Structure 1
Amino acid sequence: MPKQRITKEMVVSAAFEIARAEGMEQVMAKTIAAKIGCSVQPIYSYCKNMAGLRQDVAAQAGNFIREYAAKHVDKNDLFRSTGKAYIRLAEEEPHLFKIFILHQRQGISSLQDLYEAEAGAHTAEFIADSLDISISQARQLHMHMLVYTIGLGAIFSVTTPGIPIEEIYAQQEQAYEAFFCASHSAAMPRTFKEGFFNGT
């Protein structure tokens, strides 16, 4: 029988499947070798260190998550459904969600930096147009929901036996309503704002 040729793509793919099923901490030369059915030698020949391999796995996880989100969003309610898609991901793919949450993000020194790194270039414009708010309001609303959804997803992915997803969705919706009202309140003139909240 001819000897199997091990490629870097095979190594990364096997490492990704291990991370997806068992978590990134189980991505080791011996587990990858067992998955492929070879010795550890070809694993080390392609991976000078495990940190580099884990970066490749994180990149593949990122691609998976983007494709997952694209398949699960409602184009008629893109903003809300995207948030729900990430919560569903935390339920169905908890290990990949943890990789998404925990992977090292370089060059981030503020929440604004985080937002610019995670959000699409025209996302705020789309939200502003959909909700009839200003771009600055849309950006602030989106950043609030991004941070809140990541937090909810993290809680959801590490709790057992598990919080009902309907409860998570309800909490997410309450946060959306609160952040949306806050963004409108911030844009109101002071005299109008005082009258609005006093019911006058």
Structure 2
Amino acid sequence: MPKQRIMREMILEAAFELARTQGPEHVMVKNIAEKLGCSVQPIYSYYSNMDELKQELADYTGKFFKQYIAEHLDKNDYSRSVGAAYIRLAQTEPHLYRLYMMRKRPDIHSLDDIYRKEGDPKVVQHLSEILNIGFDKAKSLYLNMIIYTQGLSFILATQGPDFGTEEILAQLDEAFKAFVTQAVK
């Protein structure tokens, strides 16, 4: 029986599964090779170093995040459902959350960069319309919610699934009300 040819996508998917089930610290060439049942040679034939593989893995995880958020989005309540989706993602996929959100990002140098990378203009438009506020105020409100949501999500991702999700969601609602009050002044 001929040996299975190892493809780049297989390596990436194996790295993703290792990160998802065991944590990003377990994404090592020897562990990927073991998972694929091959030597390390095929991995190094596609990736010149681990930094290259980890960057591609972060991009792949980012696509997974966008798909997860889209699947859990309530189009009638963008602002709450986006935040709640991030909270639930951090709780259900803590290893992936740490891999993607808690990494050094060379393309982020400001809060505006965070908005451009993590934000969704539909949410800003939705906030602007339902609160009858200008785009800039809606964007500021949304950025505050991104920052606050990521902070709460970090708590869930590091403390584990037993931490009170409902308590976190209630806190998110309280913060949203406070940020709305500030935005409509």
- Answer yes or no: same fold by TM over 0.5: yes
> Which amino acid counterpart does residue 162 of structure 1 have in structure 2?
D
Whole-angstrom CA distance in 2 between matches of 1:35 and 1:162: 29
Structure 1 residue aligned with 2:51: 51
Structure 2 residue aligned with 1:101: 101
Whole-angstrom CA distance in 2 between matches of 1:32 and 1:112: 36
Structure 2 residue aligned with 1:75: 75
Q: Deviations over 1:48-77 (max 9, x none)?
A: 100100111111110111110111111111
Whole-angstrom CA distance in 2 between matches of 1:161 and 1:141: 28
Alignment check: 8 A CA contact 1:16 1:61 kept = yes
Structure 1 residue aligned with 2:129: 129
Greater relative CO (CA pairs within 8 A, separation 6+): 2
Structure 2 residue aligned with 1:152: 152
Whole-angstrom CA distance in 1 between matches of 2:122 and 2:106: 22
Whole-angstrom CA distance in 2 between matches of 1:123 and 1:172: 16
Consecutive unaligned residues in structure 1, runs of 5 or more: 186-200
Deviation at 1:125, TM superposition (A): 2.3
Whole-angstrom CA distance in 2 between matches of 1:87 and 1:61: 16
TM-score between the two structures when normalised by the length of structure 2: 0.94
Alignment check: 8 A CA contact 2:79 2:123 kept = no
Structure 2 residue aligned with 1:163: 163
Instruction: Note if 1:115 corresponds to 2:115.
Output: yes
Alignment check: 8 A CA contact 1:15 1:27 kept = yes
Alignment check: 8 A CA contact 1:24 1:54 kept = no
Identity of aligned pairs, percent? 46
Deviation at 1:162, TM superposition (A): 2.8
| Aligned alpha-carbon RMSD (Å) | 1.5
Deviation at 1:43, TM superposition (A): 1.4
Consecutive unaligned residues in structure 2, runs of 5 or more: none
Whole-angstrom CA distance in 2 between matches of 1:12 and 1:45: 13
Instruction: Note if 1:2 corresponds to 2:17.
Output: no
TM-score between the two structures when normalised by the length of structure 1: 0.87
Whole-angstrom CA distance in 2 between matches of 1:139 and 1:23: 34
> Which amino acid counterpart does residue 48 of structure 1 have in structure 2?
S
